[in-house]
Amino acid sequence: MKETYRCWAEIDRSALRHNANVVRDRIGSAEMLAVVKANAYGHGLVGVAQTLANDAQLFGVANLDEALALREVVPHPIVILGPSTPEERPLIAERGFIATISSYGEAEAFHRLGPTVINFKIDTGMGRMGVM
């Protein structure tokens, strides 16, 4: 049986590029992080990342697997927005990904691995992942 979808989204890459340029113009010298987690929200990690590569200075993904896949496409810094497992941390540090941490214990774990760029997740009241 042929798989059919009841809904879909078509991404116009020129419109995406235009929107990124508008953002770029408005933020001035600030860096732009393009969040492409979950396969660019179902729109295709590779295509979306390639489209945004000239505008974004960083990319954000959910996990190490996405970071590894994205590294094949763009040389930009990659922020892993989700939590990492103890087993993933050495590879995150080795590959130069930016880890997101939400506890002192995670900070200590990455510190033991050597210099690593980290992103602090701050709990702003939702009670989810984050340092209070």
Is residue 74, in this structure, part of any structural domain at all?
A: yes
Nearest to 61 by CA among 83, 43, 37, 45: 37
pLDDT of residue 89: 98
% of the chain exceeding 90 in pLDDT:
79
Return the sign of the alpha-carbon dihedral for residues 65, 32, 111, 105.
negative
Asked if residue 1 has pLDDT above 70, the reply is no
Question: Is it the case that residue 6 has pLDDT exceeding 80?
Answer: no
Residue 72, domain extent: 13-81
Least confident interval from 35-39, 60-64, 101-105: 101-105
Summarize pLDDT for 41-55 with one digit per residue, the tens: 989 999 999 999 999
Task: Count structural domains, the chain.
Answer: 1
In-domain check, residue 53: yes
CA distance 60 to 26: 20
**Residue 26, domain member (yes or no):** yes
Per-residue pLDDT tens digits for 71-93: 999 999 999 999 999 999 999 99
Lowest pLDDT segment from 31-35, 43-47, 60-64, 128-132: 128-132
Residue 87 within a domain? no
Q: How far apart are CA 56 and CA 43, in angstroms?
A: 17
For the cut 80, the answer to whether the pLDDT of residue 62 exceeds it is yes
Task: State which H helix or E strand residue 119 sits in.
Answer: strand 118-120
Specify if 17 maps to a domain: yes
